[in-house]
Amino acid sequence: MMKSIKNPESQPKCNVIGCENCGVGDLCARYRAETHQTDNQVEVVLQHYHPVTETGGHIYWAGDKFEQLYAVRSGCVKTYTVDAEGNERIRGFYLPGDMLGFDALYSDEYTSSACAVAPTEVCSISYAQLSKAVASQPHLQQRLLRLMSKDLATAMALAGDYTAEQRMAAFLLHLYERELQGHIGDAGHVSLLMPRRDIANFLRLAPETASRVLSRFQKQGLIRSSQRSLELLNLTALWQLAQSVGIVSEQIVRIKAA
Amino acid sequence: MMKSIKNPESQPKCNVIGCENCGVGDLCARYRAETHQTDNQVEVVLQHYHPVTETGGHIYWAGDKFEQLYAVRSGCVKTYTVDAEGNERIRGFYLPGDMLGFDALYSDEYTSSACAVAPTEVCSISYAQLSKAVASQPHLQQRLLRLMSKDLATAMALAGDYTAEQRMAAFLLHLYERELQGHIGDAGHVSLLMPRRDIANFLRLAPETASRVLSRFQKQGLIRSSQRSLELLNLTALWQLAQSVGIVSEQIVRIKAA
DNA sequence: CGGTATATTGAAGTCGGTCAAACCCGGTGG
DNA sequence: CCACCGGGTTTGACCGACTTCAATATACCG
């Protein structure tokens, strides 16, 4: 089922993150070696290896035994569940620098499936090793909790009953914010690696509605969109829409200069 | 701010849980003493003491420093946040035997406020003590994670875009399931300690819609409702509605006999 | 080039929200 | 004991946002 390709060079890398910007770079064996960090303050647990997964390939499936957490290095991963009626529900999108797999912490098996929506590279962390590291480095636990809380916060935010416009604006700005943080993509520009259908599903909208909202934004001069890449022309207006959803900081409107 | 009354006897206790049914009974100093559990396998961290909070009184406020987790002993607590526009959003209801306060784990302060929707008793757990216990008893961590995951699961489930009927059915059955688990309330019967307005808010519905749905259920013979207490007449039909929301097990329809 | 999947646009329908009025029930005071 | 409040709740009528269905347009890929 898992479409893994051993040779990373055979796949395009549209948005590789540098290890120095990775959220768990300091846990990464290779990166620490490269930068000559030989202190033993934190046990080294991350496997800096990049199995490449092509679009539609799975990192893990719901129900798989939980053994690894993953850090995205390039591309984009979606996690999703399938309900009793067979409807897919997208739980989240993960960009370079993000970690995924936390949902499995509770139950020893993944509760959602993870699937690449674009050619994607991931690094892996053995949870067994990480657990040991946590035992000896209690502050790591707080860090893991904080990473988890990101997922929780976006899930909670999205659970609110906001209009299609509010949710879309929040989604775009949130994506923008994260792409900037990972130093991928330029100011005022967002790459939509996932298809519209997936965006819509994530935002609990019909694909048509998502499309309509984007058209409306464009007509109002808030964005200029062309397929998988769009420009944010009026950050202030977008932020005013997204504001009450509560996942984007006001800072985002001022990054124009950066 | 906190309306605490020192004398428990002055307040009604409509749905007290027995310590033997409490989710953290084995962490409770007094219960362990009563049952002569003198082994030191788990450090004793729960303060078996019952500050009583009357309807509308707060256990904690969003932004308060995180020092305690709480276990509900009787009554019912809601947690909620207030968004930028001043709208209240109810995050969850906690019944006897449930624990609350986990949202603060991430950030050292509570991210939501907790408020009694009925006369309520809570026991408290010092998080500092609990942390120590976790360090020496790693399996406790897994247990805490599992407790947290309950909140997560219901939040996630509710985030889906289900119809008003599906959500209400899931809510009623979920409540029913939890009341049975805590051995409070009878088979086929659910106590709604919270006002309709709060139920509606939690389910992301207008109060009017919530009311209409219940009326419809009654007209269809699924329930008989009178104020704060209602009977579930057709568990099968309710479950079929709730099914795809995914927070109630199919078992619930068979407990009729119990 | 065609052929397929994805995106967009339009028209009609539906669910839930909003506004307004009636109702019910516990509490108060005559 | 009963009249009178006042909140929460219920019910009805209307409206608007999103969905659904259908058609068209556009991109992608051999």
Q: What is the pLDDT of residues B194-253, one digit of tens each?
A: 999 999 999 999 999 999 999 999 999 999 998 888 999 999 999 999 999 999 999 998
Instruction: Summarize pLDDT for A162-194 with one digit per residue, the tens.
Output: 999 999 999 999 999 999 988 888 889 999 999
Question: Is A196:A207 a contact under the CB 8 Å cutoff?
Answer: yes
Query: Which of A84, A91, A107 is the closest to B244 by Cβ?
Result: A84
A87 to chain B, any CB pair closer than 8 A? The answer is yes
Is residue A138 helix, strand or coil? helix
Which nucleotide C1' is nearest B198 CA? D8
Residue A246 has pLDDT above 80, yes or no: yes
Query: Which of A87, A107, A155 is the closest to B155 by Cβ?
Result: A155
Q: Which two tokens stand for residue B115?
A: 């408020």
Instruction: Summarize pLDDT for A100-146 with one digit per residue, the tens.
Output: 999 898 888 999 999 999 999 999 988 888 888 887 777 888 888 88
The reply to whether the CB atom of residue B214 sits less than 7 A from any atom in nucleic acid chain D is yes
Rg of chain A over all Cα atoms, to the nearest angstrom: 18
In B, minimum Cα distance to A89 occurs at B160
At A91, which amino acid appears? R
Query: Which of B152, B159, B246 is the closest to A158 by Cβ?
Result: B159
Task: Give the pLDDT of residue B41.
Answer: 60
Task: Give the pLDDT of residue A175.
Answer: 95
Q: With b meaning 16 or more CB within 10 Å and e meaning fewer, what string describes A19-55?
A: beebbbbbbbeebbeeeeeeeeebebbbbbebbbbbb
Task: Give the pLDDT of residue B228.
Answer: 85
* D21 C1' to A215 CA distance, Å: 20
Instruction: Summarize pLDDT for B44-71 with one digit per residue, the tens.
Output: 677 777 788 888 899 999 999 999 999 9
Instruction: Please compute the mean of the pLDDT values over residues A226-253 and round it to a whole number.
Output: 92
Burial of A228 (0-12, 13-18, 19+ CB in 10 A): middle
**Angstroms from B8 CA to nearest CA on chain A:** 35
Minimal CA–CA distance to A2: which of A48, A88, A61, A71? A61
The reply to whether the CB atom of residue A228 sits less than 7 A from any atom in nucleic acid chain D is yes
Which protein residue's Cα is closest to nucleotide C24 at C1'? Answer: B227
Residue B3 has pLDDT above 70, yes or no: no
Cβ neighbours, 10 Å, residue A186: 11
Residue B1 has pLDDT above 60, yes or no: no
Residue B10 has pLDDT above 60, yes or no: no
Q: What separation in angstroms does the CA of A108 have from each of A129, A143, B197, B249?
A: 15, 20, 38, 20
Confidence of residue A41 (pLDDT cuts 50, 70, 90): low
The reply to whether the CB atom of residue A229 sits less than 7 A from any atom in nucleic acid chain D is no
Task: Give the pLDDT of residue A4.
Answer: 41
